[in-house]
Amino acid sequence: MLPPDIERQRATLEQMSAEELLVWGSRRFGTSIVFATSLGAEDCAILDMIARQTLPIALATIDTGVLFRESYALWSRLEKRYGVEIAAMRTDLLRDSGPAPEIDRLWETAPDQCCRLRKMVPLRRELSGRAAWITGIRREQSETRRNAQPVEWDAAFGLVKINPLVAWTNDQVWSYLRANDVPYNPMHDTGYPSIGCEPCTSPVGEGESGRSGRWRGRDKTECGLHVVPATFVSSSEESRLKPAPTTTHVGAGSSRPNE
């Protein structure tokens, strides 16, 4: 659950702008907060806000080893533009010689396990020992994110989760990017509103939802970082999956599973 002092500020936090939430998070958590950027449009806006305010927030992104060339290029571009380092969160199963056999092309046969090993394990390692993390999720992105709150307790990872853009619309995100000349992935202009790993991302057609290009043709809709699967991965890459706790969304009055 949320620390008592944050719980008491809940109403105030819900009224804060994205920039104000980032300043609050930086002051409240000091060096114990990290922004785990997905390199998506929302996360580019958040990085711009952090940089403009020179907030001393650690930056990291998950490198699954199979991101699009454009995503790797954007990663470098953002670092140069803002003069920052965005650390890589990467599974130990990705080696210089290539992926370990247990994860090689795992998305073809077991995408949930692939996401756990390539994303969840390195993220969990980064978040262990931290007190808070920042994400770019928005409520309107999907049904599973509908109850997300500006500040909530992430029981799966055991820390506070700050979602500065949770109430923003897609138009607000793009207005911010354009108004501030923020670098973003050019694939967004060619039918890819949501960009993940190359093997699991396809373009979206007219009238389709923004995330419909992710894991197309499968039941899977989330990699597990922000939703509620029935299982949770432990910090050991070799360990088996363990039952998951639930995540409480402040103000939502309900719990949902998380991983």
| Interactions with ligand SF4, residue window 15-54 (CB under 6 A) | none
Whole-angstrom Cα distance, residue 177 to residue 83?
18
Least distance in Å: CB of 167 to ligand SF4?
Answer: 26
Pick the binder of ligand SF4 from 197, 227, 233, 250 (CB under 6 A): 197
Is 223 among the residues known to form the active site?
yes
Give the contact letters, 57-96, x = binds to ligand SF4 (CB under 6 A), - = no.
Answer: -------x-x------------------------------
- Secondary-structure breakdown of the chain: helix, strand, coil percentages, each rounded to the nearest 5: 35, 15, 45
Measuring CA to CA, which residue among 134, 140, 138 is closest to residue 159?
134
Q: Please select the residue that binds ligand SF4; options are 28, 118, 124, 211, rule is CB under 6 A.
A: 118
Distance separating alpha carbons of residues 251 and 259, to the nearest angstrom = 20
Residue 85's CB: how many other CB atoms inside 10 A? 10
**Alpha carbon distance 116, 93 (integer Å):** 12
Question: How far is the C-alpha of 109 from the C-alpha of 95, rounded, in Å?
Answer: 21
Whose Cβ is closer to ligand SF4: residue 46's or residue 66's?
A: 66
Q: Applying CB under 6 A, does 251 fall inside the site for ligand SF4?
A: no
What separation in angstroms does the CA of 155 have from each of 21, 141, 188? Answer: 20, 21, 32
Catalytic residue among 114, 115, 197, 223: 223
- 161 lies in the binding site for ligand SF4 (CB under 6 A): no
- Tokens 């990699």 identify what position? 223
For residue 214, what is the DSSP state?
A: B
Asked if 107 interacts with ligand SF4 (CB under 6 A), we say yes
Report d(CA 29, CA 129) in Å as an integer.
12
The CB-of-97 to ligand SF4 minimum distance in angstroms stands at: 19
- Of 51 and 88, the one with the shorter C-beta distance to ligand SF4 is 88
Residue 114 binding ligand SF4, by CB under 6 A: yes
Contact residues for ligand SF4, defined by CB under 6 A: 64, 66, 107, 111, 114-115, 118-119, 196-197, 199-200, 223
* Residues labelled as active-site residues: 223
